[in-house]
Every structure is written in structure tokens, then in C-alpha cells.
Structure 1
Amino acid sequence: MASMTEAEIEAELQKGFSTIEVVRKHPSSPVYHIYLNSPSHRNALPLPFFLFDLPRALSLLDALPSARSIVLSARGPHFCSGIHLPSLSSAISLRTPHALHRNILSMQSAITSLETLRKPVIASIHGACIGAGVDLVSACDIRYCTSSSFFSVKEVDLALAADLGTLQRLPRIVGYGNAIEMALTGRRVGAEEARGMGLVTRVWEGREEMEREVDAVAREMAEKSVDAVSGTKAVMLRSRDLSVGEGLEYVATWNTAMLRGSEDLEEAVKAQMEKRKPVFKSKI
């Protein structure tokens, strides 16, 4: 991706994908939207989504300087009904355990790419968010939903353990007790309960209002220093697996490397003193 120009990356995004749609709503907007785009199947996720579409889209967006924040949402009445069952059957019927293991690792990697993307990702959820949908949103940085949304870790009802990240990420978001109860029962968790346990941070009554507010939050983040936003995300992700002391040492090392000669830091200080809004120039 490093050798591609911005125009070439945009052209690649415009070529389209089989399971998602990538949209820049305004030509000058720093916010890019990824829509799950199989509404006739309630956005059930097939293997091409994991093996090709999502990794490719995120790789392109990561390399695109004009993309400063990402919104993940969905076409149709539901966010995601889980993994596409024929794809699940196809994956399980692979000839050897080694082949199945490789497939699972590839699917896990696709979800993890949301988490490791250097740009912030907001999940904008409506309707059902089931199974692999929970895997997806658990890897996003921020989660919002409508009042009609519900969440379910449904894999237990398919006679398997959730294997794409929910069992690892969800306890860190909602606490071990809430996560294991969801995982063992497969029950529906409504929007207000999800907010109460920290799975989502805000709930809107309707989808249109949520989309308008999510766009505003995404634009606000896009106006901040890229170095600060990507650094905050990287440090928080790394600190999740460290002690407090180790995390403090990590962020000290990070800022030592990033802040020396930082034009964004100079601009932020100058703007504060001049009582104006800063204009940052950093790019990824």
C-alpha cells in the first residue's frame, strides 16, 4: 500500500467489494463509512468477508491519509445476524484440522485488523447484533446503538465456542461476569442493558438521529492530531495486557519517540495561548 498514491487507493476502494461497501459521504470528508452490505441475509458474514473484503478495505483505509476516522455500520434493518451458516458448514468440512485451524486464524486476523487499525473505528449498531457481529463490534474503539438494538453471543447454540474474539475482548469491555453469562446462555441483551454493562456508551432512539450524531463524533475525532489519536489507541491497546507500571513505562517510551519536534504539539500549545482552534498537519 505504501507505494500507492492517494488517488490509486481511492480508485481501489471504488472498485467495490462483494460483502461490504466503503463510502465517503462528502468529497472533502475525513470520515469513511464501511457498510455491511448483505441486507437480504441480515448481513450474515460469509467467508469472503473475512478472507478478502474486510482486510483489504482496512488495509487501504489505513494507508489513505484523507481517511482520519472510520464508521462501521450496516445496510438494511439489522447490523449483523452472525456468520453465514453455509460458510460455517464449508469451513468445518475442510479436509484436515490444520486447514480449519488456518481458516479460523485468518478470520480472527480480519477482526483484529479493526482493533489494530491506526485510525479510530466507531461501530454504529442498529437491530440485531448476533454472534460474529459481537466479534466485530468488540474489536471497534467505540460502540453506539439505537434503542431497538439487541446483542447475543449465539455460538453456544450452534454447538461451538465463539472463536473470533468475543471470548477474549468482551470480558474486558463488560466484565467477566456479564461476558460469561452472555456466552453461556446466548440470551438477548437489549440496548439499555448493553449501555449499563458498558458494551455501548450511548443509545439513540432512532437510526437517523444516531447516524447524524455518530458522523459528528467521527468528524470531531478526525480534526484532532493524527499522532495523538493513533498514539492513544496504540497505547491503550498495548496497556490492556500490561501492569499499570509497565503501561506507564510504555507510554513514556512512546511519547519520548513521538513528541520530539512534534509540529502538532507546537500547534496545540500555540492555539491554546491564542484561544483558537488548532489546525493539525500530521498524516499517517
Structure 2
Amino acid sequence: MCSAAAATSVTKSNKYNYETLKVSNLTNYVFLVEINRPESRNAMNVQFQEDMRACFSELNNDPDCRSVVLSGSGKHFSSGLHYFLGFLLITHSCLDLSDLSFFSLNDLEPGRKSFALGKMIRAFQESFTVIEKCTKPVISAVHGACIGGGVDMVCASDVRYCSMDAWFQIKEVDVGLAADVGTLQRLPKIVGNESLVRELCFTGRKFLPDEAKEFGFVSKIFPDKEKLLAGAFELANVIASKSPIAVQGTKLGLIYARDHSVTDSLNQIALLNQSLLQSEDLIKAATAILKKQKPVFSKL
């Protein structure tokens, strides 16, 4: 397990076993999910998308999970999606043995190949959207390279921290593609600067931590990976100490409000809170404040 968690009790979770992800249980209802393909700079293959969908769906339903830290093993967060590169290699008769599922595409005529690629793209989209669908807050802790699909992934998370050695790149334009799994849809709403977003997406240029923080893509920068993870764990523990009903209801409200009008969003949160206001968590929190104690909330 990474030494960065020295100040935090960490145990590998026996119920989360994936080929491309390493899941560990931290203290106080906090889980660490690491992309675990360091030999390929945590490139994202077809198996990765299946593991992501399964992992975050399970975390969403796990009463022992209240917050998640998302990181990458090795020297880099992620070098991005390789599904489109595999397709290009195969269609140009250069065999990419890392993903055998692409071989079958060459046997299809153009119309059917188009539909097959559409299904593949939507599957990858869901492998990041599942982070957003997970009601538990997800904190991305980025170090080293975060390229292409790595940017798509962290755009779907709730909080983004990075280390000083991190760098980001919306790379798809350099391989003749439009980013298709979340960056174009989420980044403009994160940053709020349409001009800058288009500059980054049209040029594929790198941007570094200071710039990322300046325009609001990340909220904190740490000197190195060890301190980055310690900071992410600290935040995750604070979140996990709060009422799970309040935190998860807040995430649902924020995501709904991002994509709907103010009026619709007010109606949505009113409907949600007419149930949540009846929760025991409200009484526990108020009582703890009066008694200057830390509240203890039941599993959700």
C-alpha cells in the first residue's frame, strides 16, 4: 500500500477485487481507489471501463463507504484512453495485442462498425459518469500526467486536488478526435471560462497546477504525492464524519442544479428535503452542536 497513507489506517478491501483497480479501505468510512496499471502509465483499456462501472456502482451501494479518494499508482495519474488508439492501429493493420476485442471490428462493414463504435464510446462514457452517479463524494488526487481520459475522469469527480508535478492535457485533438467521454460536457461548467476551455480543447496544450488552480479546475496544490494523498484523506475523513444523508443529498442537489434551471432545482431539493428533514441525523447534529460533541451517524 502506498506510503503516503502512513498517518492513516489502510487495509486492502477483500470485497473489491478488480484487474485494473486497487481498492483499499481507509478509516472512518473512506475508500481509496487507485488506477492500477503503472506499467502502462495507468492507460485506460476496455477492462478498465468494466472495472470502473462495477467498482463505483458497488461503492454507491456500500453502507461502509461515505467518501472516496481516486488516485493512480506509480509515477502518473493516467496517460488516458487507449481504446481509440487500439482501433486506429488495428484498422491500419498494425496489431495492438493489448486489447483483443478490437480485432472483431475489422470484420464489420462501415455502418455496423459505426454502431459498434458507438456502443464502445457510450460504455467508456458510463465508466466516468458512474463517478458522478455515485452519491458518495469522490476526491481526485492527481500526480504526474493526467492526459485525455484522465481529464475526463477527474471532471466527473466532486473535488480535484493535485501535486506540484501534475500536468494536464486534453489530448484528443492531437490524434484527430473530439474528446467524447466527458471533458467537453463538464469542463465548461467547472471552469466557467468558455474562451479558455476552447483554447485548451482546440490546441491540446499542457496546463500546469498553478494555471489549473487559477481558473478553478483544482482547489488545492500539494508539494508531492505523499502530501497530496494525506490532504485528500484528511478531506475525505471530514466528509465521512458528516451525516451521510446530508452529504449525499447535497451531491444529488448540486448535480441536478448544474443541469437544470433554478426553479426546477429548487423544486428538486424541496422534494428531497421534505423526506430528509424527518431524518434522525438532523436531531443528532443539532444535539451535538449544543453539547459541543461530535455526532455519530448510522449507516445509510
TM-score between both structures, scaled by the size of structure 2 = 0.85
C-alpha offsets along residues 186-241 of structure 1, whole Å, 9 cap, x if unaligned? 00000000000111000011111111111111011001000001000000000111
Matched position secondary structure for 1:33: strand
Q: Is the 8 A contact 2:191 2:215 kept in 1?
A: yes
Deviation at 1:93, TM superposition (A): 7.4
Deviation at 1:11, TM superposition (A): 4.2
Q: Which residue of 1 is the match for residue 95 of structure 2?
A: none
One-letter amino acid of the counterpart of residue 273, structure 1: L
One-letter amino acid of the counterpart of residue 279, structure 1: V
What aligned pairs does 1:174-189 form with structure 2 within 5 A after superposition?
174-175=191-192, 176-189=194-207
Q: Tell me: CA distance 1:53–1:134, structure 2 relative to 1, closer, same or farther (3 Å).
A: same
Q: Which residue of 2 is the match for residue 195 of structure 1?
A: 213
Q: Separation in 2 of the partners of 1:226 and 1:92?
A: 45
Q: Which residue of 2 is the match for residue 22 of structure 1?
A: 23
Q: Separation in 2 of the partners of 1:88 and 1:134?
A: 21
Q: Is the 8 A contact 2:20 2:37 kept in 1?
A: yes
Q: Separation in 1 of the partners of 2:255 and 2:28?
A: 27
Q: Is the 8 A contact 1:81 1:133 kept in 2?
A: yes
Q: Separation in 2 of the partners of 1:106 and 1:12?
A: 24
Q: Which residue of 2 is the match for residue 241 of structure 1?
A: 259
1:12 aligns with 2:15: yes
1:221 aligns with 2:222: no
Q: Which residue of 2 is the match for residue 39 of structure 1?
A: 38
Q: Is the 8 A contact 1:124 1:145 kept in 2?
A: yes
What aligned pairs does 1:246-261 form with structure 2 within 5 A after superposition?
246-260=264-278
C-alpha offsets along residues 117-139 of structure 1, whole Å, 9 cap, x if unaligned? 01010000001100000000000
Q: Which residue of 1 is the match for residue 177 of structure 2?
A: 160
Please report the RMSD computed on the Cα atoms of aligned residues, expressed in angstroms: 1.6
Q: Separation in 2 of the partners of 1:209 and 1:117?
A: 26
Q: Which residue of 2 is the match for residue 5 of structure 1?
A: none
Q: Is the 8 A contact 1:47 1:87 kept in 2?
A: no
Matched position secondary structure for 1:24: strand
Q: How many correspondences in the alignment? A: 268
Q: Which residue of 2 is the match for residue 77 of structure 1?
A: 75
Q: Separation in 2 of the partners of 1:106 and 1:92?
A: 18
Moved more, 138-147 or 242-251: 242-251
Q: Separation in 1 of the partners of 2:15 and 2:148?
A: 30
Q: Tell me: CA distance 1:32–1:166, structure 2 relative to 1, closer, same or farther (3 Å).
A: same
Q: Which residue of 2 is the match for residue 126 of structure 1?
A: 143
Q: Tell me: CA distance 1:157–1:93, structure 2 relative to 1, closer, same or farther (3 Å).
A: farther
Q: Separation in 2 of the partners of 1:197 and 1:232?
A: 24
Q: Which residue of 2 is the match for residue 64 of structure 1?
A: 62
Q: Separation in 2 of the partners of 1:70 and 1:77?
A: 21
Deviation at 1:92, TM superposition (A): 9.9
Q: Which residue of 1 is the match for residue 226 of structure 2?
A: 208
Q: Tell me: CA distance 1:83–1:245, structure 2 relative to 1, closer, same or farther (3 Å).
A: same
Matched position secondary structure for 1:240: helix
Q: Separation in 2 of the partners of 1:88 and 1:155?
A: 14
Bigger relative contact order, structure 1 or 2, given CA contacts below 8 A and separation 6+? 2
- Structure 1 stretches of 4+ with a deviation exceeding 6 A read none
Q: Separation in 1 of the partners of 2:170 and 2:292?
A: 48
Q: Is the 8 A contact 1:20 1:34 kept in 2?
A: yes
Q: Separation in 2 of the partners of 1:105 and 1:191?
A: 30
TM-score between both structures, scaled by the size of structure 1 = 0.90
Q: Separation in 2 of the partners of 1:24 and 1:225?
A: 19
Q: Is the 8 A contact 1:43 1:78 kept in 2?
A: yes
Q: Is the 8 A contact 1:35 1:74 kept in 2?
A: yes
Q: Is the 8 A contact 1:24 1:32 kept in 2?
A: yes
Matched position secondary structure for 1:67: coil
Matched position secondary structure for 2:63: coil
Q: Is the 8 A contact 2:28 2:240 kept in 1?
A: no
Deviation at 1:257, TM superposition (A): 2.1
